[in-house]
Amino acid sequence: MNIVYHENSKVFHLWNDNVSYVMMVLKNGQLGQLYFGKRIHDRENLSDLLELAARPMSSCSFPEDKTFSMEHIKQELPSFGTGDYRSPAVEIRQENGSRISDFQYQSYKIEEGKPKLAGLPAVYTENGQEAATLVIHLLDSVTGIQAELLYTIFAEGGILARSIRYENEGVKAVQIERAMSLCLDLPDCDYEWMQLSGAWARERYVITRKLTMGIQSVGSLRGNSSHQHNPFVAVKRPSATEQQGEVIGFGFIYSGNFLMQAEVDAHDQTRVLVGIHPDTFSWKLEPGDSFQTPEAVMVYTDQGLNDMSQTFHRLYRSRLARGNWREEPRPILINNWEATYFDFTEEKLLKIAIKAKECGVELFVLDDGWFGERGSDHAGLGDWVANEKRLPRGITGIAERIEELGMKFGLWFEPEMVNEDSDLYRMHPDWILSVPERVKSHGRYQYVLDFSRKEVVDFIYEMMAKVLREAKVSYIKWDMNRSITECFSASLPPERQGEVYHRYILGVYELYERLTREFPHVLFESCASGGGRFDAGMLYYAPQGWTSDDTDAVERLKIQYGTSMCYPISSMGSHVSMVPNHQVNRRTPLHTRANAAYFGTFGYELDLNKLTEDEIQQVKEQIVFMKEYRKILQFGTFYRLKSPFEGNETAWMAVSQDKRTAIVGWYRVLNVVNGRFTRLRLQGLDPELCYQNSQNNTLCYGDELMNLGLSTTDETAGELAAGEEACTDFESKIYIFKAQ
């Protein structure tokens, strides 16, 4: 891991064993981009990588060189209006209405480790040897705005973290109207763009398309990162696969409105921008004030999509997630929501809990409906006081009874929302986001509290903290069931209304920070109608998230496969639920529901008392299996083997750090007849070790399993032999391989 500055050529070079990032100070004082990719040798004159070929009809704004134009130069902090007609990374409106800026190099410094970002989630280091940070200071002399560009390169993996801090050292206020966190200009467009998109109950499907001239983007203007598009994209060479080829992944550590964009110009150069969505955004920067952009993370590899994902997994799992639960195996839980919805009493809950304890469950979670006058989703949100008609001894009482059974107790909150039919709304109707004299749009009969206001965050914090101080609560499910509309704060003046979306998310982060600091033993799980805010920003506070409200095992194959492109298995909330499934009305075998849920945090979303004795026995066996292997499943090296987006079968696997144990999940959606013989090439094994297959006790070396493959042929390839159990639709198997 090295960062050097060559004084004569004015070139910065950041590198480790995997990657190089090269940039330079241009002749006009701005910062140009030279290279990002596989590690290259350092030399003094890397500046000759800069392409300065003059092109017809270009505008030239540099007086000393009438052939020097910014129109096609790769840049670190491009602005609009002085020759570069591509999308800018920064736009600052000044008092006279101008948006022109000229950020020129001033100085640099190199620091060990990585600085924290004030009020924002970000990856971190625990010692100075893990990473180094380059800080480059640029200045727009007309406005006095300083831009502090942060580049952190990690010692291991092709990882570069980037963000920008703006400070007004001038004498007049300005409006920041675009503040992207990352700009990467690539020299060609021979890439495929990969995004994770969908909708409620089908989040993070993998969508891939070829980059062509023009703009390709994903983003959110919903106030949350959204079910529709995730703040992660990758660009990969068309020949790249899961196992090989060049890939650059981009993750944005932010939970609000975002934009991730690739723009291909007329000469096939590609500009990638990542940051807060500029639509509806503006930030008034008074003299002496500063603004910090959220952090973006780039990962480069020439070893394919799996290697990119594994790099993100390691980083996010151990240097983004924090706290007591960062690397602890997750407790096996049961959640009462799909078992009871709002129809429960304390005794009904205890009946479910007793059966769960008998099966080996470790954590009982009480979901929505325990507070205020919450008999449906029409009332009660905001009144975080136990409903004594349902819970005579309150949360303290039910928590104690669950603890007496030998399980931990968890609780559901939706702290950012309020119902009109609630004591909180009647007391503070002005605390919601709404525009004077305009209609207030509800979602699920609820409104969004104005978390841009400190007094609102303080009030909700005190209500939640009171419950957590008084009761033995070990787990919090933090839900958020609607996006923002009418984004207007009664507490801010007109010129600051463009700050509300961002201030709202900062308020959410502040509440999380205060609660996790006071209650470090509590495991937080983020949720937003399932996967509506499943992003890296949330992982900083809650090391796991509810992956989707869709608990159907078949749909979860696509959802969890896509999610794994960026997010670690330990972060994916995954449960076994009742059939017919409550979202798609599908009936899948109990073993397949578990086989899909194993590759996540694992739990149950049903009333175990309604299962047959045979099913209860299966549940007990599933829990025994998960307890034995959850450390490998959640923290091992994860490989995607077969995509649910490309055929009838899905496969993935997790390998222990010492490569002596591997767990393979194989899934077939629809049954076949007289099918072909099938093999599955495994990944990540030690080629010199001999592994025993748990399904048939055969012994095979790692190189055989990776090159010839595991036979997954079953009776669907021929007639059913006597005594064999027939396969069905939605079939699956778990293979365990142990080195002998």
Residues classed as catalytic: 479, 549
The residue type of 485 is T
242: left (phi over 0), alpha (psi -120 to 50) or beta: alpha
- The answer to whether 528 and 534 are in contact (CB under 8 A) is yes
CA separation (Å) from 314 to 119, 306, 309, 319, 668? Answer: 24, 12, 9, 8, 29
Residues ≥6 apart with Cβ < 8 Å to 72: 51, 53, 55, 58, 265, 267, 269
Which residue type sits at 354? I
Which residue, 445, 451, 465, is CA-closest to 368? 445
Nearest to 541 by CA among 571, 578, 500: 571
CA dist 535 to 236, 257, 259, 328, 544, Å?
21, 12, 14, 20, 10
Name beta bridge partners: 126: none
Question: CA-CA distance, 627 to 331, in Å (whole number)?
Answer: 9
The two structure tokens encoding residue 325: 């639960």
- By residue count, the chain amounts to 740
Q: List the strands of the sheet with 31-38, edge to edge.
A: 2-6, 11-15, 19-25, 31-38
Closest Cα partner for 383 from 395, 396, 368, 373?
Answer: 373
**DSSP structure string for 172-219:** S-EEEEEEEEEEEEES----EEEEEEEETTEEEEEEEEE--SEEEEEE
Angle at 541 between CA 537 and CA 543, to 5 degrees: 95
- The strand pair at 283-285 and 247-253 is best described as unpaired
The answer to whether the CB of 599 falls within 8 A of the CB of 563 is no
- Rounded CA gap, 662 and 706, in Å? 12
Identify which of 132, 135, 150 has the alpha carbon closest to the alpha carbon of residue 1.
132
Q: From 158, 114, 127, select the one nearest 16 (Cα to Cα).
A: 158
| 525: nearest Cα among 333, 341, 312 | 333
Measured CA to CA, the distance from residue 526 to residue 535 in angstroms comes to 10
The DSSP code sequence of 482-542 is: ----S---TTS-GGGGGGHHHHHHHHHHHHHHHHHHH-TTPEEEE-BTTBTT-SHHHHTT-
Are the C-beta atoms of residues 549 and 529 closer than 8 Å to each other?
A: yes
Tell me the C-alpha distance between 338 and 577, whole Å: 8
Contact between 626 and 332 (Cβ < 8 Å): yes
CB 575 within 8 A of CB 551: yes
Q: Give residue for tokens 């794994």.
A: 564
Two structure tokens written together for 515? 């609660």
Closest CA to 601 of 627, 639, 565: 627
Residue whose C-alpha is closest to residue 237's, from 190, 303, 184: 190
Cβ contacts of residue 646 below 8 Å, gap of 6+? none
Closest CA to 57 of 257, 211, 266, 214: 266
